[in-house]
Structure 1
Amino acid sequence: MELKDSIRNKYKNYLLLERSLSANSIEAYMTDLDKLSGFLFSESISAENVKLDDLQQFVAQLYDLGIGARSVARIISGIKSFYGYLMLDGYIQTDPTELLETPKIGLKLPVVLSVDEINELMDIIDQSTKEGQRNRAILEVLYGCGLRISELVKIRFSDLAFDEGFIKVEGKGSKQRLVPVSPAAIREINSYLFYRREMTPKKGFEDILFLSNRATPISRITVFHYIKEYAEKAGIKKNISPHTFRHSFATHLLEGGANIRAIQMMLGHETITTTEIYTHMDREYLRQEIIEHHPRNKPR
Protein backbone atom coordinates (compact mmCIF):
# COMPACT_ATOMS: atom_id res chain seq x y z
CA MET A 1 0.00 0.00 0.00
CA GLU A 2 1.34 3.45 -0.89
CA LEU A 3 1.91 6.18 1.65
CA LYS A 4 -1.09 8.52 1.52
CA ASP A 5 -0.31 11.84 -0.14
CA SER A 6 -2.20 13.72 2.57
CA ILE A 7 0.03 12.29 5.30
CA ARG A 8 3.15 12.89 3.24
CA ASN A 9 2.23 16.54 2.66
CA LYS A 10 1.34 17.14 6.31
CA TYR A 11 4.65 15.63 7.37
CA LYS A 12 6.48 17.90 4.94
CA ASN A 13 4.78 20.93 6.50
CA TYR A 14 5.75 19.63 9.94
CA LEU A 15 9.42 19.53 8.93
CA LEU A 16 9.18 23.13 7.76
CA LEU A 17 7.09 24.65 10.55
CA GLU A 18 8.09 22.71 13.64
CA ARG A 19 11.53 21.39 12.79
CA SER A 20 12.49 24.55 10.88
CA LEU A 21 14.58 22.50 8.45
CA SER A 22 16.12 23.94 5.31
CA ALA A 23 14.72 23.12 1.88
CA ASN A 24 17.64 20.76 1.22
CA SER A 25 17.14 18.92 4.50
CA ILE A 26 13.41 18.56 3.88
CA GLU A 27 14.12 17.16 0.42
CA ALA A 28 16.52 14.62 1.96
CA TYR A 29 13.92 13.58 4.55
CA MET A 30 11.26 13.16 1.90
CA THR A 31 13.62 11.17 -0.34
CA ASP A 32 14.33 8.78 2.52
CA LEU A 33 10.62 8.56 3.28
CA ASP A 34 10.01 7.64 -0.36
CA LYS A 35 12.44 4.73 0.09
CA LEU A 36 10.28 3.46 2.93
CA SER A 37 7.12 4.11 0.91
CA GLY A 38 8.47 1.97 -1.92
CA PHE A 39 9.18 -0.84 0.51
CA LEU A 40 5.69 -0.59 2.04
CA PHE A 41 4.13 -0.69 -1.42
CA SER A 42 6.08 -3.84 -2.34
CA GLU A 43 5.01 -5.51 0.91
CA SER A 44 1.38 -4.25 0.83
CA ILE A 45 1.76 -2.61 4.24
CA SER A 46 0.27 0.75 5.25
CA ALA A 47 2.46 3.23 7.10
CA GLU A 48 0.08 3.18 10.08
CA ASN A 49 0.31 -0.62 10.43
CA VAL A 50 4.08 -1.04 10.23
CA LYS A 51 5.69 -3.28 12.85
CA LEU A 52 9.25 -3.35 14.13
CA ASP A 53 9.95 -6.53 12.13
CA ASP A 54 8.88 -4.75 8.93
CA LEU A 55 11.26 -1.88 9.60
CA GLN A 56 14.11 -4.24 10.39
CA GLN A 57 13.50 -5.94 7.07
CA PHE A 58 13.54 -2.54 5.37
CA VAL A 59 16.89 -1.69 6.99
CA ALA A 60 18.29 -5.08 5.97
CA GLN A 61 17.37 -4.32 2.37
CA LEU A 62 19.26 -1.01 2.59
CA TYR A 63 22.40 -2.86 3.63
CA ASP A 64 21.83 -5.43 0.87
CA LEU A 65 21.81 -2.58 -1.65
CA GLY A 66 25.27 -1.57 -0.45
CA ILE A 67 24.19 1.61 1.32
CA GLY A 68 26.80 2.66 3.89
CA ALA A 69 26.24 2.69 7.63
CA ARG A 70 26.22 6.49 7.90
CA SER A 71 23.61 6.78 5.16
CA VAL A 72 21.55 4.02 6.76
CA ALA A 73 21.74 5.88 10.07
CA ARG A 74 20.46 9.03 8.36
CA ILE A 75 17.58 7.15 6.76
CA ILE A 76 16.63 5.53 10.07
CA SER A 77 16.74 8.94 11.74
CA GLY A 78 14.33 10.23 9.11
CA ILE A 79 12.01 7.26 9.57
CA LYS A 80 12.02 7.82 13.34
CA SER A 81 11.15 11.46 12.72
CA PHE A 82 8.25 10.44 10.48
CA TYR A 83 6.79 8.06 13.03
CA GLY A 84 7.28 10.64 15.74
CA TYR A 85 5.10 12.93 13.63
CA LEU A 86 2.46 10.19 13.18
CA MET A 87 2.38 9.85 16.98
CA LEU A 88 2.14 13.62 17.41
CA ASP A 89 -0.86 13.95 15.10
CA GLY A 90 -2.62 10.84 16.44
CA TYR A 91 -2.31 8.56 13.41
CA ILE A 92 -0.74 5.83 15.57
CA GLN A 93 -0.75 5.05 19.29
CA THR A 94 2.59 3.24 19.56
CA ASP A 95 5.90 4.04 17.85
CA PRO A 96 7.23 1.03 15.88
CA THR A 97 10.66 2.69 15.58
CA GLU A 98 11.24 2.91 19.33
CA LEU A 99 13.42 -0.22 19.40
CA LEU A 100 14.83 0.18 15.90
CA GLU A 101 18.61 0.23 16.26
CA THR A 102 20.61 2.94 14.54
CA PRO A 103 24.33 3.70 14.37
CA LYS A 104 25.43 6.45 16.74
CA ILE A 105 26.05 9.74 14.94
CA GLY A 106 26.52 13.31 16.04
CA LEU A 107 23.44 15.48 16.49
CA LYS A 108 23.02 18.92 14.95
CA LEU A 109 22.71 21.56 17.63
CA PRO A 110 19.37 23.44 17.49
CA VAL A 111 19.14 27.17 16.86
CA VAL A 112 18.74 29.08 20.13
CA LEU A 113 17.95 32.74 20.69
CA SER A 114 19.83 34.70 23.34
CA VAL A 115 17.88 36.37 26.14
CA ASP A 116 18.55 39.75 24.51
CA GLU A 117 17.23 38.47 21.17
CA ILE A 118 14.09 37.17 22.90
CA ASN A 119 13.55 40.59 24.49
CA GLU A 120 14.15 42.39 21.18
CA LEU A 121 11.70 40.14 19.37
CA MET A 122 9.03 40.56 22.06
CA ASP A 123 9.47 44.33 22.13
CA ILE A 124 9.01 44.65 18.36
CA ILE A 125 5.38 43.48 18.61
CA ASP A 126 2.74 46.22 18.47
CA GLN A 127 0.59 45.47 21.49
CA SER A 128 -1.92 48.21 20.71
CA THR A 129 -3.70 45.84 18.30
CA LYS A 130 -5.61 42.66 19.09
CA GLU A 131 -3.33 40.72 16.75
CA GLY A 132 -0.25 42.08 18.46
CA GLN A 133 -1.53 41.31 21.94
CA ARG A 134 -2.49 37.78 20.88
CA ASN A 135 0.87 37.20 19.25
CA ARG A 136 2.76 38.56 22.26
CA ALA A 137 0.85 36.11 24.44
CA ILE A 138 1.57 33.26 22.01
CA LEU A 139 5.32 33.92 21.97
CA GLU A 140 5.39 34.36 25.73
CA VAL A 141 3.73 30.97 26.18
CA LEU A 142 6.00 29.28 23.63
CA TYR A 143 9.08 30.64 25.38
CA GLY A 144 7.77 30.81 28.95
CA CYS A 145 6.39 27.26 28.95
CA GLY A 146 8.54 25.53 26.34
CA LEU A 147 5.54 24.23 24.39
CA ARG A 148 5.49 22.72 20.94
CA ILE A 149 3.46 24.82 18.49
CA SER A 150 1.11 21.83 18.04
CA GLU A 151 0.46 21.93 21.79
CA LEU A 152 -0.08 25.68 21.92
CA VAL A 153 -2.73 25.87 19.19
CA LYS A 154 -4.86 23.31 21.07
CA ILE A 155 -4.89 25.10 24.44
CA ARG A 156 -8.40 25.57 25.79
CA PHE A 157 -9.75 27.85 28.50
CA SER A 158 -10.46 24.70 30.49
CA ASP A 159 -6.74 23.87 30.36
CA LEU A 160 -5.77 27.01 32.26
CA ALA A 161 -5.18 26.69 35.99
CA PHE A 162 -3.65 30.06 36.78
CA ASP A 163 -4.50 29.88 40.49
CA GLU A 164 -2.27 26.82 40.73
CA GLY A 165 0.20 28.19 38.17
CA PHE A 166 -0.16 25.47 35.52
CA ILE A 167 -1.44 24.84 32.00
CA LYS A 168 -2.66 21.39 31.02
CA VAL A 169 -1.02 20.40 27.76
CA GLU A 170 -1.79 17.58 25.33
CA GLY A 171 1.49 16.41 23.84
CA LYS A 172 2.69 13.58 21.64
CA GLY A 173 0.48 10.51 21.55
CA SER A 174 -2.34 12.49 23.24
CA LYS A 175 -0.38 12.33 26.51
CA GLN A 176 -1.34 15.08 28.92
CA ARG A 177 0.98 16.87 31.32
CA LEU A 178 0.85 19.90 33.60
CA VAL A 179 3.34 22.61 32.65
CA PRO A 180 4.25 25.46 35.02
CA VAL A 181 3.21 28.78 33.51
CA SER A 182 5.35 31.83 34.24
CA PRO A 183 3.94 35.05 35.69
CA ALA A 184 4.99 36.82 32.47
CA ALA A 185 2.94 34.38 30.37
CA ILE A 186 -0.05 34.71 32.69
CA ARG A 187 0.16 38.49 32.44
CA GLU A 188 0.25 38.44 28.62
CA ILE A 189 -2.59 35.91 28.37
CA ASN A 190 -4.75 38.04 30.66
CA SER A 191 -4.01 41.10 28.51
CA TYR A 192 -4.98 39.14 25.40
CA LEU A 193 -8.23 38.00 27.02
CA PHE A 194 -9.50 41.60 26.88
CA TYR A 195 -9.65 41.15 23.07
CA ARG A 196 -10.46 37.45 23.09
CA ARG A 197 -13.70 37.97 25.03
CA GLU A 198 -14.92 40.37 22.33
CA MET A 199 -14.66 37.67 19.65
CA THR A 200 -17.43 35.30 18.65
CA PRO A 201 -15.75 31.98 17.90
CA LYS A 202 -17.03 29.73 15.15
CA LYS A 203 -19.19 26.88 16.41
CA GLY A 204 -17.15 24.20 18.13
CA PHE A 205 -14.23 26.49 18.96
CA GLU A 206 -15.72 28.40 21.88
CA ASP A 207 -13.20 26.94 24.35
CA ILE A 208 -10.09 27.48 22.20
CA LEU A 209 -7.78 30.12 23.68
CA PHE A 210 -5.86 31.41 20.66
CA LEU A 211 -8.10 32.28 17.72
CA SER A 212 -7.31 33.52 14.24
CA ASN A 213 -8.92 36.60 12.71
CA ARG A 214 -11.53 34.20 11.28
CA ALA A 215 -12.51 33.13 14.80
CA THR A 216 -11.11 29.63 14.29
CA PRO A 217 -8.06 28.11 16.03
CA ILE A 218 -4.89 29.87 14.92
CA SER A 219 -2.81 27.62 12.68
CA ARG A 220 0.81 26.55 13.04
CA ILE A 221 1.75 28.16 9.74
CA THR A 222 0.22 31.51 10.78
CA VAL A 223 2.35 31.58 13.93
CA PHE A 224 5.38 30.57 11.83
CA HIS A 225 4.88 33.51 9.47
CA TYR A 226 4.41 36.02 12.31
CA ILE A 227 7.65 34.84 13.93
CA LYS A 228 9.53 35.24 10.66
CA GLU A 229 8.07 38.75 10.27
CA TYR A 230 9.01 39.81 13.81
CA ALA A 231 12.51 38.35 13.51
CA GLU A 232 13.10 40.34 10.34
CA LYS A 233 11.87 43.56 11.96
CA ALA A 234 14.08 42.91 14.99
CA GLY A 235 17.11 42.33 12.76
CA ILE A 236 17.54 38.72 13.88
CA LYS A 237 19.35 36.78 11.16
CA LYS A 238 18.98 33.31 12.64
CA ASN A 239 16.67 30.82 10.91
CA ILE A 240 14.03 30.55 13.60
CA SER A 241 10.61 28.93 13.93
CA PRO A 242 8.11 28.33 16.74
CA HIS A 243 10.29 25.43 17.91
CA THR A 244 13.21 27.81 18.46
CA PHE A 245 11.43 29.22 21.50
CA ARG A 246 11.18 25.71 22.98
CA HIS A 247 14.92 25.15 22.47
CA SER A 248 15.64 28.58 23.98
CA PHE A 249 13.38 27.83 26.96
CA ALA A 250 15.31 24.68 27.81
CA THR A 251 18.73 26.19 27.16
CA HIS A 252 18.14 29.30 29.25
CA LEU A 253 16.71 27.32 32.17
CA LEU A 254 19.70 24.99 32.09
CA GLU A 255 22.12 27.92 31.91
CA GLY A 256 20.28 29.50 34.84
CA GLY A 257 20.88 26.45 37.00
CA ALA A 258 17.59 24.56 36.66
CA ASN A 259 17.61 20.80 37.22
CA ILE A 260 17.96 18.90 33.93
CA ARG A 261 15.35 16.33 34.95
CA ALA A 262 12.86 19.07 35.76
CA ILE A 263 13.43 20.60 32.33
CA GLN A 264 12.93 17.27 30.58
CA MET A 265 9.66 16.70 32.40
CA MET A 266 8.37 20.17 31.56
CA LEU A 267 9.19 19.53 27.91
CA GLY A 268 7.37 16.17 27.97
CA HIS A 269 10.52 14.29 26.90
CA GLU A 270 9.72 11.11 28.79
CA THR A 271 11.65 8.00 27.80
CA ILE A 272 11.60 4.38 28.92
CA THR A 273 14.57 4.88 31.22
CA THR A 274 13.51 8.19 32.77
CA THR A 275 9.72 8.03 33.02
CA GLU A 276 9.75 6.60 36.56
CA ILE A 277 12.02 9.38 37.77
CA TYR A 278 9.83 12.06 36.20
CA THR A 279 6.53 10.78 37.55
CA HIS A 280 7.85 10.98 41.13
CA MET A 281 8.96 14.60 40.88
CA ASP A 282 6.97 17.07 42.93
CA ARG A 283 4.80 19.50 40.92
CA GLU A 284 5.55 22.43 43.17
CA TYR A 285 9.26 21.78 42.73
CA LEU A 286 8.80 21.99 38.96
CA ARG A 287 6.94 25.26 39.34
CA GLN A 288 9.68 26.74 41.53
CA GLU A 289 12.32 25.72 38.97
CA ILE A 290 10.71 27.85 36.27
CA ILE A 291 9.84 30.75 38.60
CA GLU A 292 13.38 30.99 39.96
CA HIS A 293 15.40 30.35 36.81
CA HIS A 294 13.44 31.59 33.77
CA PRO A 295 14.81 34.97 32.62
CA ARG A 296 11.35 36.38 31.80
CA ASN A 297 10.40 36.12 35.48
CA LYS A 298 13.21 38.44 36.57
CA PRO A 299 12.81 42.25 36.72
CA ARG A 300 13.93 43.97 33.51
Structure 2
Amino acid sequence: MTLQMDLPTLDDYPTRKGTEAALLYRRDPTVWGTAEDGPLSHSRLQEHDRRGYTRFGSLLDPDEAAGHLDEADRLVADPGLRDDERAVVDPSDGGVRSVFEVHRVSGAFDALVNDPRLVEPARQLLGSDVYVHQSRLDHRPGFGGGPLYWRSDFETWHAEDGMPRMRAVGFSVALTDHHSHNGAPLVIPGSHRTYVSCLEDGEHGRSGTPDRGTLTILADRHGIDTLEAAPGDVTALDANCMYAAGANITPWARSSLFVVYNSVENACEKPFGGEGPRPGFLASRDFTPAGR
Protein backbone atom coordinates (compact mmCIF):
# COMPACT_ATOMS: atom_id res chain seq x y z
CA MET A 1 0.00 0.00 0.00
CA THR A 2 1.29 3.47 -0.93
CA LEU A 3 0.69 6.24 1.55
CA GLN A 4 0.11 9.64 -0.10
CA MET A 5 0.92 12.78 1.82
CA ASP A 6 0.07 16.39 1.05
CA LEU A 7 3.42 18.11 0.73
CA PRO A 8 3.61 21.79 1.72
CA THR A 9 3.57 24.26 -1.16
CA LEU A 10 6.91 25.97 -1.68
CA ASP A 11 6.54 29.58 -0.57
CA ASP A 12 8.85 32.08 -2.28
CA TYR A 13 7.24 34.93 -0.34
CA PRO A 14 7.10 33.99 3.35
CA THR A 15 5.64 36.56 5.72
CA ARG A 16 4.24 36.95 9.25
CA LYS A 17 6.28 33.99 10.45
CA GLY A 18 9.66 35.30 11.61
CA THR A 19 10.82 37.52 14.43
CA GLU A 20 12.37 40.13 12.11
CA ALA A 21 11.18 41.87 8.97
CA ALA A 22 13.10 41.03 5.78
CA LEU A 23 13.60 42.41 2.28
CA LEU A 24 13.47 39.63 -0.35
CA TYR A 25 14.10 39.67 -4.09
CA ARG A 26 11.04 39.50 -6.32
CA ARG A 27 10.91 36.16 -8.16
CA ASP A 28 8.27 37.03 -10.78
CA PRO A 29 8.15 39.30 -13.83
CA THR A 30 6.39 42.65 -13.56
CA VAL A 31 5.26 42.56 -17.20
CA TRP A 32 4.14 39.17 -18.52
CA GLY A 33 2.96 40.21 -22.00
CA THR A 34 4.47 42.07 -24.95
CA ALA A 35 3.62 45.14 -27.02
CA GLU A 36 1.93 42.82 -29.54
CA ASP A 37 -0.52 41.59 -26.90
CA GLY A 38 -2.46 44.78 -26.26
CA PRO A 39 -2.79 48.55 -26.38
CA LEU A 40 0.34 49.49 -24.40
CA SER A 41 3.48 50.31 -26.38
CA HIS A 42 6.86 48.77 -25.66
CA SER A 43 7.99 52.00 -23.98
CA ARG A 44 4.89 52.05 -21.74
CA LEU A 45 5.53 48.46 -20.72
CA GLN A 46 9.15 49.33 -19.94
CA GLU A 47 7.96 52.25 -17.83
CA HIS A 48 5.62 49.97 -15.88
CA ASP A 49 8.41 47.45 -15.40
CA ARG A 50 10.75 50.14 -14.08
CA ARG A 51 8.40 52.10 -11.81
CA GLY A 52 5.81 49.47 -10.94
CA TYR A 53 2.97 51.63 -12.18
CA THR A 54 1.74 53.36 -15.30
CA ARG A 55 -0.84 56.09 -15.80
CA PHE A 56 -3.61 56.70 -18.33
CA GLY A 57 -4.74 60.31 -18.56
CA SER A 58 -8.44 60.90 -19.30
CA LEU A 59 -9.24 57.23 -19.93
CA LEU A 60 -12.84 58.16 -19.12
CA ASP A 61 -14.27 61.28 -20.71
CA PRO A 62 -15.69 64.01 -18.41
CA ASP A 63 -19.30 62.88 -18.82
CA GLU A 64 -18.41 59.26 -18.01
CA ALA A 65 -16.43 60.27 -14.94
CA ALA A 66 -19.26 62.53 -13.75
CA GLY A 67 -21.82 59.76 -14.25
CA HIS A 68 -19.78 57.28 -12.20
CA LEU A 69 -19.28 59.90 -9.48
CA ASP A 70 -23.06 60.36 -9.31
CA GLU A 71 -23.40 56.58 -8.92
CA ALA A 72 -20.74 56.58 -6.19
CA ASP A 73 -22.56 59.38 -4.35
CA ARG A 74 -25.80 57.43 -4.62
CA LEU A 75 -24.22 54.33 -3.11
CA VAL A 76 -22.58 56.03 -0.13
CA ALA A 77 -25.83 57.88 0.61
CA ASP A 78 -27.93 54.70 0.50
CA PRO A 79 -28.99 53.98 4.11
CA GLY A 80 -29.63 50.33 3.27
CA LEU A 81 -25.98 49.86 2.34
CA ARG A 82 -24.74 50.76 5.82
CA ASP A 83 -25.78 47.35 7.16
CA ASP A 84 -24.28 45.44 4.22
CA GLU A 85 -21.15 43.45 5.12
CA ARG A 86 -19.47 44.82 2.01
CA ALA A 87 -19.63 48.40 3.33
CA VAL A 88 -16.98 49.97 5.57
CA VAL A 89 -18.62 52.54 7.82
CA ASP A 90 -16.87 55.30 9.73
CA PRO A 91 -17.87 54.77 13.39
CA SER A 92 -17.50 58.48 14.13
CA ASP A 93 -20.32 59.62 11.85
CA GLY A 94 -21.85 56.51 10.27
CA GLY A 95 -20.72 57.51 6.78
CA VAL A 96 -19.81 54.86 4.20
CA ARG A 97 -16.11 55.07 3.36
CA SER A 98 -15.69 51.98 1.16
CA VAL A 99 -17.92 49.51 -0.66
CA PHE A 100 -16.29 46.19 -1.53
CA GLU A 101 -17.46 44.02 -4.42
CA VAL A 102 -18.97 47.20 -5.81
CA HIS A 103 -19.31 45.66 -9.28
CA ARG A 104 -21.84 43.24 -7.74
CA VAL A 105 -23.73 46.11 -6.11
CA SER A 106 -23.88 48.48 -9.09
CA GLY A 107 -24.55 47.76 -12.75
CA ALA A 108 -22.66 50.89 -13.74
CA PHE A 109 -19.51 49.80 -11.93
CA ASP A 110 -19.91 46.24 -13.24
CA ALA A 111 -19.81 47.65 -16.78
CA LEU A 112 -16.72 49.71 -15.94
CA VAL A 113 -14.88 46.79 -14.33
CA ASN A 114 -15.48 44.78 -17.53
CA ASP A 115 -14.69 47.67 -19.88
CA PRO A 116 -12.02 46.79 -22.48
CA ARG A 117 -10.17 50.03 -21.68
CA LEU A 118 -9.30 48.48 -18.31
CA VAL A 119 -9.38 44.77 -19.08
CA GLU A 120 -7.18 44.81 -22.20
CA PRO A 121 -4.20 46.56 -20.54
CA ALA A 122 -4.60 44.22 -17.55
CA ARG A 123 -4.48 41.19 -19.85
CA GLN A 124 -1.43 42.61 -21.57
CA LEU A 125 0.44 43.33 -18.34
CA LEU A 126 -0.37 39.89 -16.90
CA GLY A 127 -0.02 37.90 -20.12
CA SER A 128 -3.33 36.03 -19.84
CA ASP A 129 -7.05 36.37 -19.26
CA VAL A 130 -7.79 38.04 -15.94
CA TYR A 131 -10.55 37.85 -13.34
CA VAL A 132 -11.66 40.35 -10.69
CA HIS A 133 -9.96 39.45 -7.42
CA GLN A 134 -11.42 42.48 -5.65
CA SER A 135 -13.30 45.68 -6.43
CA ARG A 136 -14.09 48.54 -4.13
CA LEU A 137 -15.37 52.07 -4.14
CA ASP A 138 -13.31 54.37 -1.93
CA HIS A 139 -14.88 57.61 -0.73
CA ARG A 140 -13.22 60.20 1.48
CA PRO A 141 -15.56 63.15 2.07
CA GLY A 142 -14.39 66.65 2.80
CA PHE A 143 -12.95 66.87 6.34
CA GLY A 144 -13.39 63.10 6.65
CA GLY A 145 -11.51 59.87 6.22
CA GLY A 146 -8.24 59.03 7.89
CA PRO A 147 -4.96 58.05 6.26
CA LEU A 148 -4.19 54.69 4.65
CA TYR A 149 -0.91 53.38 6.06
CA TRP A 150 1.84 51.99 3.83
CA ARG A 151 1.26 48.52 2.44
CA SER A 152 2.00 46.07 -0.35
CA ASP A 153 -1.31 44.56 -1.35
CA PHE A 154 0.38 41.38 -2.54
CA GLU A 155 1.60 40.63 0.97
CA THR A 156 -2.02 40.59 2.16
CA TRP A 157 -3.35 38.73 -0.86
CA HIS A 158 -0.60 36.12 -0.52
CA ALA A 159 -0.87 35.61 3.23
CA GLU A 160 -4.66 35.91 3.64
CA ASP A 161 -6.11 35.00 0.23
CA GLY A 162 -3.64 32.43 -1.10
CA MET A 163 -2.49 34.35 -4.20
CA PRO A 164 0.61 32.35 -5.25
CA ARG A 165 2.59 34.70 -7.50
CA MET A 166 2.99 38.43 -8.13
CA ARG A 167 0.77 38.33 -11.20
CA ALA A 168 -1.94 40.83 -10.33
CA VAL A 169 -2.45 44.52 -10.99
CA GLY A 170 -4.74 47.13 -9.43
CA PHE A 171 -6.43 49.84 -11.49
CA SER A 172 -7.37 53.03 -9.64
CA VAL A 173 -9.97 55.13 -11.50
CA ALA A 174 -10.20 58.70 -10.19
CA LEU A 175 -13.78 59.96 -9.91
CA THR A 176 -12.81 63.31 -8.37
CA ASP A 177 -9.67 65.42 -8.35
CA HIS A 178 -6.86 63.82 -6.37
CA HIS A 179 -4.51 66.46 -5.00
CA SER A 180 -1.63 66.25 -2.57
CA HIS A 181 -3.69 68.36 -0.16
CA ASN A 182 -6.75 66.07 -0.18
CA GLY A 183 -4.82 62.85 0.36
CA ALA A 184 -3.83 61.69 -3.11
CA PRO A 185 -2.18 58.24 -3.09
CA LEU A 186 1.57 58.00 -2.53
CA VAL A 187 3.73 55.30 -4.08
CA ILE A 188 7.38 54.29 -3.74
CA PRO A 189 8.38 53.76 -7.40
CA GLY A 190 10.54 50.70 -7.87
CA SER A 191 9.45 49.18 -4.56
CA HIS A 192 7.65 46.44 -6.50
CA ARG A 193 11.02 44.77 -7.12
CA THR A 194 11.46 44.05 -3.41
CA TYR A 195 9.16 41.88 -1.31
CA VAL A 196 8.74 42.98 2.29
CA SER A 197 8.32 40.01 4.61
CA CYS A 198 6.36 41.46 7.51
CA LEU A 199 5.97 40.56 11.15
CA GLU A 200 2.76 38.98 12.36
CA ASP A 201 2.28 41.92 14.71
CA GLY A 202 3.37 44.80 12.46
CA GLU A 203 3.45 48.57 12.76
CA HIS A 204 0.53 49.90 14.83
CA GLY A 205 -0.15 46.29 15.89
CA ARG A 206 -1.64 45.31 12.51
CA SER A 207 -0.62 42.07 10.82
CA GLY A 208 1.29 42.51 7.59
CA THR A 209 2.07 46.19 8.08
CA PRO A 210 5.68 47.05 7.11
CA ASP A 211 7.93 48.45 9.82
CA ARG A 212 9.36 51.97 9.72
CA GLY A 213 12.94 50.82 9.19
CA THR A 214 12.00 48.88 6.05
CA LEU A 215 9.91 51.76 4.70
CA THR A 216 12.81 54.16 5.28
CA ILE A 217 15.17 51.92 3.32
CA LEU A 218 12.75 51.73 0.37
CA ALA A 219 11.95 55.46 0.40
CA ASP A 220 15.62 56.46 0.63
CA ARG A 221 16.42 54.12 -2.26
CA HIS A 222 13.53 55.03 -4.59
CA GLY A 223 11.87 58.24 -3.40
CA ILE A 224 8.11 58.82 -3.17
CA ASP A 225 5.71 59.86 -5.96
CA THR A 226 2.35 61.57 -5.42
CA LEU A 227 -0.35 60.24 -7.75
CA GLU A 228 -2.35 63.38 -8.41
CA ALA A 229 -5.18 62.83 -10.87
CA ALA A 230 -8.18 64.44 -12.55
CA PRO A 231 -11.58 62.75 -12.89
CA GLY A 232 -11.28 59.95 -15.44
CA ASP A 233 -7.54 59.41 -14.99
CA VAL A 234 -6.43 55.84 -14.26
CA THR A 235 -3.34 54.39 -12.59
CA ALA A 236 -2.32 50.74 -13.02
CA LEU A 237 -0.35 49.66 -9.94
CA ASP A 238 1.64 46.44 -9.62
CA ALA A 239 0.41 44.22 -6.79
CA ASN A 240 3.70 44.51 -4.89
CA CYS A 241 4.13 48.31 -5.02
CA MET A 242 4.37 49.96 -1.62
CA TYR A 243 1.70 52.67 -1.45
CA ALA A 244 -0.25 54.80 1.03
CA ALA A 245 -2.67 57.74 1.14
CA GLY A 246 -3.02 60.72 3.42
CA ALA A 247 -6.07 61.93 5.32
CA ASN A 248 -8.45 64.34 3.64
CA ILE A 249 -8.54 67.53 5.69
CA THR A 250 -9.85 69.71 2.85
CA PRO A 251 -13.47 70.59 2.00
CA TRP A 252 -13.21 68.57 -1.25
CA ALA A 253 -14.11 64.88 -1.39
CA ARG A 254 -11.79 62.28 -2.94
CA SER A 255 -13.45 59.27 -4.56
CA SER A 256 -12.13 56.44 -6.73
CA LEU A 257 -12.85 52.96 -7.99
CA PHE A 258 -10.15 50.37 -7.30
CA VAL A 259 -10.31 47.06 -9.16
CA VAL A 260 -7.78 44.25 -8.86
CA TYR A 261 -7.25 41.99 -11.84
CA ASN A 262 -5.49 38.69 -11.21
CA SER A 263 -4.29 36.27 -13.88
CA VAL A 264 -6.55 33.26 -14.33
CA GLU A 265 -3.28 31.28 -14.23
CA ASN A 266 -2.62 32.66 -10.73
CA ALA A 267 -5.91 31.70 -9.07
CA CYS A 268 -5.91 31.80 -5.29
CA GLU A 269 -5.40 28.64 -3.29
CA LYS A 270 -4.91 27.93 0.41
CA PRO A 271 -3.72 31.10 2.20
CA PHE A 272 0.02 31.13 2.86
CA GLY A 273 -0.41 32.87 6.22
CA GLY A 274 -1.93 29.82 7.86
CA GLU A 275 -5.47 31.10 8.39
CA GLY A 276 -8.69 30.52 6.48
CA PRO A 277 -9.42 32.56 3.35
CA ARG A 278 -11.17 35.90 3.66
CA PRO A 279 -14.80 36.33 2.56
CA GLY A 280 -15.50 36.33 -1.16
CA PHE A 281 -16.37 40.03 -1.26
CA LEU A 282 -12.77 40.77 -0.18
CA ALA A 283 -11.08 38.06 -2.24
CA SER A 284 -13.16 36.45 -4.96
CA ARG A 285 -13.04 32.72 -5.62
CA ASP A 286 -14.94 33.22 -8.88
CA PHE A 287 -12.22 32.97 -11.53
CA THR A 288 -14.46 33.75 -14.51
CA PRO A 289 -12.48 35.93 -16.97
CA ALA A 290 -13.40 39.60 -16.93
CA GLY A 291 -14.66 41.25 -20.08
CA ARG A 292 -15.59 38.01 -21.83
TM bracket (short chain): under 0.3
The structure that is strand-richer by fraction is: 2
Higher relative contact order (CA 8 A, sep 6+): 2
Per the normalisation by structure 1, the TM-score is 0.25
Per the normalisation by structure 2, the TM-score is 0.25
